Amino acid sequence: MLLAQLSSRISAQLLALTPLVDGLARCERQFPERVGAWLEQGETLLRELRSPDTSELAALRTSIISAGERRSGESAASSRRAQNLAASTALMRGEELLRSRLLSAEDRLESFEGKLIEAITAAVLVGILPPQEREWSLWLADVWAALAAHQATRPITIYLAAALAPADRLVILDRILIRLTAAKLPVLDVRRGESA
């Protein structure tokens, strides 16, 4: 799975926590079942990554189910409280697992972004950054081609090509160039003027 896509999907899964916690605060009867469904969605996501954490999320669901089973002489209210407690604990642990995966993916993207920033900086200073005269996505391809063609930036492009899927490279390049063009640096204006 692409790092950028992974990061986006895990972020979306984590954003779904707020309504679950609100449900606990409102003492919704469906809280344990909703947490179980959330954990199952997390399992599906981690299974796509072939992560061993998938089994821990499954075990957390099991703890919710078993906590809800009434024992001899136990009241329904007591069983419900036990299941809510198990669901709350499972939700916190599930959040930790997914957040850890998210931070790992974001750290990798940031490290690759740092490398690409070095290449873009060299490209601007050497004067090989092509002017932004075409549609944005075509310009991204032009910039990547210019980086890959020049000896000052080629090693970084080879490294990134080996380390990242093409879509991840474009996501990172897009982020950098959005910031760079928004900065309206004089060096970029000079480069555009020279290429005209």
What pLDDT is stored for residue 195 in this prediction?
41
What pLDDT is stored for residue 119 in this prediction?
95
* Cut 0.95: pTM above it: no
- As a dihedral over the C-alpha atoms of residue 62, residue 54, residue 42, residue 114, rounded to 10 degrees, the angle is 150
Single-letter code of the amino acid located at 83 = Q
**Distance spanning both ends of the chain, measured CA to CA:** 41
Q: Which two tokens stand for residue 162?
A: 């080996």
Distance CA 194, CA 124 (A): 12
What pLDDT is stored for residue 193 in this prediction?
38
What pLDDT is stored for residue 185 in this prediction?
72
DSSP 184: T
Nearest alpha carbon to residue 147 among 164, 124, 175, 113: 124
Distance CA 194, CA 89 (A): 62
What pLDDT is stored for residue 48 in this prediction?
87
Nearest alpha carbon to residue 86 among 62, 110, 109: 62
Q: Which two tokens stand for residue 35?
A: 């947490």
DSSP 134: S
Q: Give 33-45 as a DSSP string.
A: HHHHHHHHHHHHH
What pLDDT is stored for residue 186 in this prediction?
66
What pLDDT is stored for residue 51 in this prediction?
87
Per-residue pLDDT tens digits of the chain, which is 196 residues long: 588 888 899 999 999 999 999 999 998 999 999 999 999 999 999 998 888 899 999 999 999 999 888 777 778 888 889 999 999 999 999 999 999 999 998 999 999 999 999 999 999 989 998 888 889 999 999 999 999 999 999 999 999 999 999 999 999 999 999 998 888 776 665 344 344 3
